[in-house]
Amino acid sequence: MERKKEREQTTFALKGDLCFSEDKDRLQIWEDAYVVCEDGICRGVFSELPKRYQNIPCHEYPGRIIIPGLVDLHTHASQYAFCGLGMDLELLDWLNTHTFPEEAKYADLDYAKDAYRIFVDDLKKGATTRAVIFGTVHVEATLLLMELMEESGICAYVGKVNMDRNCPRDLCEESAARSVEDTRRWLNLCAERDFRNVRPILTPRFIPSCSDGLMEGLAKLQQEYGLPLQSHLSENTGEIQLVRELCPNARFYGEAYEQSGLFGENAPTIMAHCVFSSDAEIELMKQRGVFVAHCPQSNAALASGIAPVRRYMDLGLHVGLGTDVAAGFSLSMFRAIADAILCSKLRWSVEDRLLAPLRLEEAFYLATKGGGTFFGKIGSFENGYEFDAVVLDDCSLSCPRSLTVRERLERLIYRADDRNIEAKYVGGRKIA
Amino acid sequence: MERKKEREQTTFALKGDLCFSEDKDRLQIWEDAYVVCEDGICRGVFSELPKRYQNIPCHEYPGRIIIPGLVDLHTHASQYAFCGLGMDLELLDWLNTHTFPEEAKYADLDYAKDAYRIFVDDLKKGATTRAVIFGTVHVEATLLLMELMEESGICAYVGKVNMDRNCPRDLCEESAARSVEDTRRWLNLCAERDFRNVRPILTPRFIPSCSDGLMEGLAKLQQEYGLPLQSHLSENTGEIQLVRELCPNARFYGEAYEQSGLFGENAPTIMAHCVFSSDAEIELMKQRGVFVAHCPQSNAALASGIAPVRRYMDLGLHVGLGTDVAAGFSLSMFRAIADAILCSKLRWSVEDRLLAPLRLEEAFYLATKGGGTFFGKIGSFENGYEFDAVVLDDCSLSCPRSLTVRERLERLIYRADDRNIEAKYVGGRKIA
């Protein structure tokens, strides 16, 4: 009975101006058309509603643009409290000065509750329908974050962070064994919670924070639980030098993950940043199917540099976009799309004329299907995709002349904020 | 009687958390303090209201941040209609493909009215209190823009554009003589209008669009009317090459203006961009007191590059910030400040480690006192400055811990939009 009701609620059509990516070069635009959701799964787009769907509810959004939900492939819920603050340092100093002291506060569940509530509320206001999120080392606070995310209706992978070295005493896990043990406890508590929207993801912070013993323990956990993994890679020159010193046997940063079996060999893996990945590192990412989470705003704000995203796309790597708060200062995935384009233009003009700037179609693809693929069939309105959609109202963006749907989408990407979001669906459920 | 009423209305105190620049390195912060406006002029800031002001009205803004109004030193009202559109070309192709066809439409006063209404309404919603604005070549449409700006209460220099070569027939002025004659007619009509907030500014588009004869004619007009001037300089490598071909006798782009006497010798002058200015050009800008309008968002969006703003500031040049719509895609001066910082970080990380990134204090200075100096004593709460102020409400930016006023200002710069603007004063008059 429950199931029947659920099926009814998640079977409907939306009508409006539809935009979605077929692939990175092809943006499909269907004006005043229907997209059908059946039992939470997209059944494609139609100019006229086919006979077999004529009895399902149709929600009309005349003059609105409807896009697949946006996928934030890398962000830190535990840093949102200082979003837009302390933006004056490079990565390692920034971690020590601003980030680690903030994350230590999440030992206090009351603080965590206040802070995560703000993060989840703001994430819900935006166009993000799926996110891959760092918590902190704390089991209880991370569970709390997962519960809040679960309620929000946004689908997410959330990670309890592992770190047993090179960080302040009040944040550092006592030992590799204790870190692994806490992670196991967290995973078992997650299993008890029976989450619907939220899943755990292994989250060794990055090589400088994780001893070899910890990485080995996490590799075992990964095999046991079959968990995906997120971490950071080749973000900053100082960080890369530190990894070189810590792991003299690794020829490149990514190999330090690979040596523990945590570079995508056994499970889907996201590496955030990849600003300075070497040819060998890129080749291994490709072999292992590693997802690159490109975070252009964060990479600018920490003066890291600009990742060669065009190269990754040309080589066929998996690439998505991340807001990476609080090195990034905005949860807006629209800004992530615009920033990816702008930074690629600056990279072209200032650093390397061989890599052409990203086009709108490509950056939009990254924020939808590109990152969405990490979740499965996510990020498109093609038949068989899970039904995530965002309805956009661009009436506030006045214009003295009429615009094409492609133009209206472009303008929204550069200029939209949460006021332009009229409705949001995840897996066929309306969450806003 | 009128005058007495006006004096009364423009004499008051505001109470709140005050932030303003003393110079580029020193940001003054006064918590829960008073700033006094007497007859439209700032009389300084006080922890306690001095006895002589105890009878003036005091508008209390508890917990609000009050800053000087922001100054947009370079923007194109006539391009706002395609703001956020067509962002796929470099400067010269972008002008020919998107900009010139749009500007040609302003021959139609009905179109101009619709388009300029939207521009002025949106400008008014933001934190901008002073702006230096390009119109089009059209006298009547430019007057219309000036009338709408006048009503808005924002103070502005507005320019009827001059261009008599290298542009489409429907936009190109018939001859140098006709362009000068129309400009004279426009100036006389401006004088008849008796504007209070709005003043005309000479606006030769840029060297590629202006014949030698036109520049000579404008130089004479400048001497006759004592007018300031705005134009573009060294924005893009293709543009610079074109100027080299058009002006073989000029050793550098700026010298082409100088040879007509239009490079700041006779009146205050703004040159937008200066991304690629040579040493000789920079030296001449310094000698002539030319203002650089730094437009980081536009320079990224057109893949021009990143101007060496730190160098200009170190050399003591006048520098302000511009939104430069519609190469820039946002009228927000908060974004201009943030973008100036971010782009300076990218320039440091990717191009030139000798120029340190801009600090918050410096970029805030550029958007207030730096650009404000073009208007006179504008952009600070020091005694003697014209009273422009913006009251900011940051309650929507929740935070689980308490923040200093400096932190709240930083966060607003990165994250504020027009919803955070509670009130706006220009020259002592409340306009929003």
pLDDT (0 to 100) of residue A88: 86
- Of the candidates B416, B357, B363, B365, the residue with the CA atom closest to the CA atom of residue B392: B416
Query: Which of B116, B399, B413 would best serve as a mutation to test chain A binding (most A beta carbons within 10 A)?
Result: B399
B238 interaction partners in chain A (CB closer than 8 Å): none
- Of the candidates A251, A230, A197, the residue with the CA atom closest to the CA atom of residue A324: A230
Q: Which helix (H) or strand (E) holds B225?
A: helix B212-225
pLDDT (0 to 100) of residue B72: 98
What residue ranges of chain B are covered by domains with CATH 2.30.40.10? 2-68+379-430
Whether B351 sits inside 8 A of A348 (CB atoms) is no
Query: Which of B93, B331, B350, B362 would best serve as a mutation to test chain A binding (most A beta carbons within 10 A)?
Result: B350
Whether A349 sits inside 8 A of B304 (CB atoms) is yes
Whether B351 sits inside 8 A of A351 (CB atoms) is yes
> Order of strands across the sheet with B421-426?
B41-46, B27-38, B12-21, B58-68, B389-392, B421-426, B429-430
- Of the candidates B80, B125, B122, the residue with the CA atom closest to the CA atom of residue B105: B80
Beta strand pairing status for A128-134 and A161-162? Answer: unpaired
Residue B358 has pLDDT above 70, yes or no: yes
B86 interaction partners in chain A (CB closer than 8 Å): 407, 410
Residue A8 has pLDDT above 90, yes or no: no
Single-letter amino acid, residue A95: L
Whether B343 sits inside 8 A of A346 (CB atoms) is yes
> Order of strands across the sheet with B318-321?
B229-233, B269-273, B291-294, B318-321
The CA radius of gyration of chain B, in Å to the nearest whole number, is 21
pLDDT (0 to 100) of residue A3: 65
Whether B411 sits inside 8 A of A111 (CB atoms) is no
Point out the residue among B329, B350, B407 whose CB comes nearest to the CB of A350: B350
Point out the residue among A122, A350, A401 whose CB comes nearest to the CB of B81: A401
pLDDT (0 to 100) of residue B361: 98
- Of the candidates A347, A388, A395, the residue with the CA atom closest to the CA atom of residue A131: A388
Point out the residue among A81, A302, A305 whose CB comes nearest to the CB of B350: A305
pLDDT (0 to 100) of residue B1: 53
Give B297→chain A minimum CA distance, Å: 8
Residue B133 has pLDDT above 80, yes or no: yes
A115 interaction partners in chain B (CB closer than 8 Å): 400
Q: What is the rounded average pLDDT of the residues A224-242? A: 97
Ramachandran category for residue B194: left, alpha or beta (phi over 0 → left; psi -120 to 50 → alpha): left
ipTM, 2 decimals? 0.97
User: What's the pLDDT tens digit per position in A60-99?
Assistant: 999 999 999 999 999 999 999 999 999 888 999 999 999 9
Whether B415 sits inside 8 A of A343 (CB atoms) is no
CA A292 to chain centre: 10
Beta strand pairing status for A155-159 and A128-134? Answer: parallel
pLDDT band at B117 (very low <50, low <70, confident <90, very high): very high
Mean residue pLDDT across chain B: 97
Query: Which of B89, B325, B394, B414 would best serve as a mutation to test chain A binding (most A beta carbons within 10 A)?
Result: B414
SS3 B395: coil
pLDDT (0 to 100) of residue B336: 98
Say which residues have a Cβ less than 8 Å from residue A1's Cβ, sequence separation at least 6.
none
B305 interaction partners in chain A (CB closer than 8 Å): 346, 349-350
Give B81→chain A minimum CA distance, Å: 6
Residue B312 has pLDDT above 60, yes or no: yes
Say which residues have a Cβ less than 8 Å from residue B382's Cβ, sequence separation at least 6.
B20, B22, B42, B44
CB A100 within 8 A of CB A136: no
Give A7→chain B minimum CA distance, Å: 37
Measured between CA atoms, the residue of chain A closest to residue B120 is A398
Measured between CA atoms, the residue of chain A closest to residue B361 is A88
User: What's the pLDDT tens digit per position in A344-361?
Assistant: 999 999 999 999 999 999
Give A270→chain B minimum CA distance, Å: 24
Ramachandran category for residue B389: left, alpha or beta (phi over 0 → left; psi -120 to 50 → alpha): beta
Q: Which residues pair with B127 in a beta bridge?
A: none
User: What's the pLDDT tens digit per position in B201-246?
Assistant: 999 999 999 999 999 999 999 999 999 999 999 999 999 999 999 9
User: What's the pLDDT tens digit per position in B23-51?
Assistant: 999 999 999 999 999 999 999 999 999 99
CB B267 within 8 A of CB B307: no
Q: What is the rounded average pLDDT of the residues A200-221? A: 98
Mean residue pLDDT across chain A: 97
Say which residues have a Cβ less than 8 Å from residue B139's Cβ, sequence separation at least 6.
B160, B182, B185, B186, B189
Give A240→chain B minimum CA distance, Å: 15
Token duo for residue B272 = 């937008």
Point out the residue among B111, B329, B345 whose CB comes nearest to the CB of A415: B329
CA dist B106 and B99 (Å) reads 12
Point out the residue among B118, B303, B411 whose CB comes nearest to the CB of A349: B303
What residue ranges of chain B are covered by domains with CATH 3.20.20.140? 70-375
pLDDT (0 to 100) of residue A95: 95
User: What's the pLDDT tens digit per position in A20-39?
Assistant: 999 999 999 999 999 999 99
CB B97 within 8 A of CB A424: no
Give B22→chain A minimum CA distance, Å: 21
Work out how many CB contacts closer than 8 A connect A with B.
130
CB A366 within 8 A of CB A413: no
pTM for this entry: 0.98
pLDDT (0 to 100) of residue A166: 96
Point out the residue among A85, A114, A304 whose CB comes nearest to the CB of B400: A114
Measured between CA atoms, the residue of chain A closest to residue B397 is A118
CB A141 within 8 A of CB A109: yes
User: What's the pLDDT tens digit per position in A294-338?
Assistant: 999 999 999 999 999 999 999 999 999 999 999 999 999 999 999
Whether B400 sits inside 8 A of A81 (CB atoms) is yes
Q: What is the rounded average pLDDT of the residues B11-19? A: 98
Kindly report the backbone phi and psi dihedral angles of residue B328, in degrees, each rounded to the nearest multiple of 5, phi listed first.
-75, 155
User: What's the pLDDT tens digit per position in B53-101?
Assistant: 999 999 999 999 999 999 999 999 999 999 999 988 899 999 999 999 9
pLDDT (0 to 100) of residue B155: 98
Whether B114 sits inside 8 A of A400 (CB atoms) is yes
B399 interaction partners in chain A (CB closer than 8 Å): 81, 118
pLDDT band at A2 (very low <50, low <70, confident <90, very high): low
pLDDT band at B5 (very low <50, low <70, confident <90, very high): confident
Measured between CA atoms, the residue of chain A closest to residue B299 is A346
Whether A118 sits inside 8 A of B399 (CB atoms) is yes
Residue B7 has pLDDT above 90, yes or no: no
| B70-375 CATH fold | TIM Barrel (3.20.20)
pLDDT (0 to 100) of residue B2: 62
Measured between CA atoms, the residue of chain A closest to residue B121 is A398
Give B330→chain A minimum CA distance, Å: 7
Measured between CA atoms, the residue of chain A closest to residue B304 is A349
Whether A357 sits inside 8 A of B303 (CB atoms) is yes
Rounded (5°) CA angle B406-B410-B416:
130
B415 interaction partners in chain A (CB closer than 8 Å): 83-84, 329-330
DSSP annotation of B215 reads H
pLDDT band at B408 (very low <50, low <70, confident <90, very high): very high
User: What's the pLDDT tens digit per position in B139-194?
Assistant: 999 999 999 999 999 999 999 999 999 999 999 999 999 999 999 999 999 999 98
DSSP-assigned states of every residue in A29-98? EEEEEEEEEETTEEEEEESS--GGGTTS-EEEEEEEEEEEPEEEEEEEGGGGGGTT----S-HHHHIIII
CATH code of the domain occupying A2-68+379-430: 2.30.40.10
